[in-house]
Amino acid sequence: MAILQPIHNIAEILAQKNVKTAILCPGSRSAALTISLVRHPEIQTYSISDERSAAFIGLGMAQQTGDTVALICTSGTAAYNFAPAVAEAYFQEIPLLVMTADRPAEWIHQYDGQTIYQREIYGKHVKKAFELPSDYTHSDSVWQIERVVNEAVNLSQIFPKGPVHINVPIREPFYPTEMEKIEFDRNVRIIKHAHVEKKLSNEFWCNFKEIWESIDNKLIIVGHQHSSKRLNIVLEKFVEELGVPVVADIISNVNSIEPVLSDVFLSSKNENLKNNLKPDLLITIGKSVISKNLKIFIRNNKPKFHFHIQENGDLIDPFQTLTDKVEVSPEYFFEQLFEDLDIQNFKNGDEEIDFEFLQQWCNTNERAKKKLNSFIENLEYSEFKVIKSIIDKLPENSIFHLANSMVVRYANLIGIEKGKNIEIFANRGTSGIDGSLSSAIGVALKTNKIVTCLIGDMSFFYDRNGFWNTYLPDNLRVIVINNHGGNIFRIIDGPNKQPEVKEYFETIQSSSAKYICEEANVFYHQVNDEESLLSTLNFLHQKSERPILIEVEIDGNKNAEVFASYKKLFAEFV
């Protein structure tokens, strides 16, 4: 048996446990992992050099498939370059198996190259951190390796999904001898993890339905979450059959109902308008909410009851109004609730459903939408208008990756048309600008759909090494909104009043994406006005042999003006 056989067997365990994609970052210390993963017939491997980008590409793949993706790196700071994506995966609940090769413990901080303190390096940003033994001679060590790898993969998939870290100290020699065949032990230990369904007691349902029936104004708010067909179906019923308004951000992937532009009209200073929208029973699901106005509205108008439905065990209360945490899946919760209410209605005879509260929300929303559309229509060439055009032209059944900072905020104000079946991804776990391009590439590598990444210039150049690999897929479309700086700082209140805004907040930069596109062999088009934008959008989503990037050149000062007039307009919305 090869000395490194227990390491080679990791590939077999991963394959059998459905971890079939591995991102390999080059290095010697990790060679045994690399070679066995590459040689395993069931595992698809990618070699990507910049670990920061590599980890975000892996995250994008896992976002798209829901399956655990393995990330492998050599020892040293390589492991730290994974960290931004690991943190994002933790808060966004994306399953990653991070395996960092390491020197054996006796050589840590002994002046040997590429050695840092890797044990538990990701702190609280992984569900669990393991370390394998560096000696495999004792059979207990083999047992430990097999058990740990099983546990790590299981954990990454148990809800809430997330990243798990295994530090892998490896002694030399790292490489099999020339032409040595690596054997995979098909009988390697596999420990399965039984899926547990969490249900609520009859007692809970009795109490809850009592509240449900005693309260008129019920509201559902959906935060950031992956697309769920089951949830979309049942939420539609709550709106249409039970008259409960559902407010969802663009990143909530609720596409069965009209988008509610809550951030737009809740910015109004008109208290009458808002008085009619106050819920008495609030049910929230999902993770973070983009709309600051929505958060402030709820905080200022505390509902009598606020149930948060989420399996995640942390107590998270961004509205500061939570009364009940319910740790079951939202799908089960709403399906069960709907079914129970349905049976009850059948038994008791159809009760009159009151649609008034829903109508209040819908009417306000309709009026806001009209006003916003006419505002945008009359705009000159500026970001608000550009992003509206981009969203309008998105193809059906495609994927839309929204980068952070202004881009996702604009898109959230505009909303996405119902029924086009567009799935939204956004790295809102930590809302960093560091990996959006790479994540979108990862998503595109795992689907045949068109993936459109809408991204600002700062995020794009920050993560430009996303283009530094040989796998760029032809279904990738990138639209860079280039206002030559962090335009958000000119738009939000505060920095725009400071003399330092240009150099130290916006950080004016003159780069163009054309150079990196030329280097990476990506089709490049520049857009400078409305007309060229529209003609470019017309062919953007057609089939292409190479990925396409559109750089939308735009004046940041203009955007700031437009945004100020938008805010003024809706502050007075009645």
Minimum distance of a copy of itself from residue 565's CB (angstroms): 20
Q: Considering only residues 479-518, where is the footprint of a copy of itself by CB under 8 A?
A: 486, 489, 492-495, 497-498, 500, 503-509, 511-512, 515-516, 518
Cα–Cα separations (whole angstroms), residue 157 to 65, 193, 417, 427: 12, 9, 32, 19
Q: Considering only residues 260-279, where is the footprint of a copy of itself by CB under 8 A?
A: none
Q: What is the CA radius of gyration of the chain?
A: 26
Q: Considering only residues 345-404, where is the footprint of a copy of itself by CB under 8 A?
A: 404
Torsion-angle region of 440 (φ positive above 0: left; ψ -120 to 50: alpha; else: beta): alpha
Residue choice 4, 121, 257, 491 for contact with a copy of itself (CB under 8 A): 121
Cα–Cα separations (whole angstroms), residue 358 to 233, 263, 364: 18, 17, 10
Q: Considering only residues 416-475, where is the footprint of a copy of itself by CB under 8 A?
A: 428, 430-432, 434, 458, 461-462, 464-465, 468-470
By CB under 8 A, is residue 160 in contact with a copy of itself?
Answer: no
Minimum distance of a copy of itself from residue 355's CB (angstroms): 31
By CB under 8 A, is residue 202 in contact with a copy of itself?
Answer: no
Stretch that binds a copy of itself, among 47-55, 239-247, 389-397, 563-571 (CB under 8 A): 47-55
Minimum distance of a copy of itself from residue 500's CB (angstroms): 5
Q: Considering only residues 51-110, where is the footprint of a copy of itself by CB under 8 A?
A: 51-52, 76-78, 80-81, 83-84, 87-88, 91, 109-110
Is the Cβ of residue 507 or residue 535 nearer to a copy of itself in the bound state?
507
Beta-carbon contacts of 400 under 8 Å, excluding residues fewer than 6 positions away, are 391, 394, 416, 422, 423, 424, 425, 451, 452, 454
By CB under 8 A, is residue 297 in contact with a copy of itself?
Answer: no
Q: What is the DSSP string of 482-537?
A: E-SS-THHHHSTTGGGSTTIIIIII------THHHHHHHT-EEEEE-SHHHHHHHH
> Per the structure block, which two tokens stand in for 60?
């994008």
Is the Cβ of residue 20 or residue 125 nearer to a copy of itself in the bound state?
125
DSSP state of 115: -
300, burial (CB in 10 Å: exposed 0-12, middle 13-18, buried 19+): exposed
Residue choice 100, 101, 127, 174 for contact with a copy of itself (CB under 8 A): 174
Q: Considering only residues 514-543, where is the footprint of a copy of itself by CB under 8 A?
A: 515-516, 518-520
By CB under 8 A, is residue 317 in contact with a copy of itself?
Answer: yes
Overall size of the chain counted in residues = 574
Minimum distance of a copy of itself from residue 211's CB (angstroms): 24
Minimum distance of a copy of itself from residue 175's CB (angstroms): 4
Is the Cβ of residue 6 or residue 432 nearer to a copy of itself in the bound state?
432
Alpha-carbon gap, residue 21 to 28, rounded angstroms: 20
Is the Cβ of residue 385 or residue 409 nearer to a copy of itself in the bound state?
409
Q: What is the DSSP string of 207-226?
A: HHHHHHHH-S-EEEEE-S--
Question: Do 463 and 441 meet the contact criterion of CB atoms below 8 Å apart?
Answer: no
> Per the structure block, which two tokens stand in for 143?
């047992």
By CB under 8 A, is residue 204 in contact with a copy of itself?
Answer: no
Pairing of strands 163-169, 129-131: parallel
Is the Cβ of residue 177 or residue 374 nearer to a copy of itself in the bound state?
177
Is the Cβ of residue 415 or residue 485 nearer to a copy of itself in the bound state?
485
By CB under 8 A, is residue 34 in contact with a copy of itself?
Answer: yes
Residue choice 45, 232, 293, 544 for contact with a copy of itself (CB under 8 A): 45
Could you give the residue ranges of the DSSP H alpha helices within 276-405? 292-300, 330-348, 356-377, 383-392
Minimum distance of a copy of itself from residue 91's CB (angstroms): 7
Q: What is the DSSP string of 144-187?
A: HHHHHHHHHHHHHHSSSP-EEEEEEE-PSP-SPPTTPPPP--TT
Minimum distance of a copy of itself from residue 35's CB (angstroms): 6
Minimum distance of a copy of itself from residue 103's CB (angstroms): 12
> Per the structure block, which two tokens stand in for 171?
């002694």
Minimum distance of a copy of itself from residue 365's CB (angstroms): 23
By CB under 8 A, is residue 35 in contact with a copy of itself?
Answer: yes
Is the Cβ of residue 143 or residue 515 nearer to a copy of itself in the bound state?
515
Minimum distance of a copy of itself from residue 320's CB (angstroms): 9
Minimum distance of a copy of itself from residue 388's CB (angstroms): 23
Peptide bond into 173 cis (omega under 30): yes
Cα–Cα separations (whole angstroms), residue 57 to 54, 172, 342, 497: 5, 30, 44, 38
Is the Cβ of residue 120 or residue 185 nearer to a copy of itself in the bound state?
120
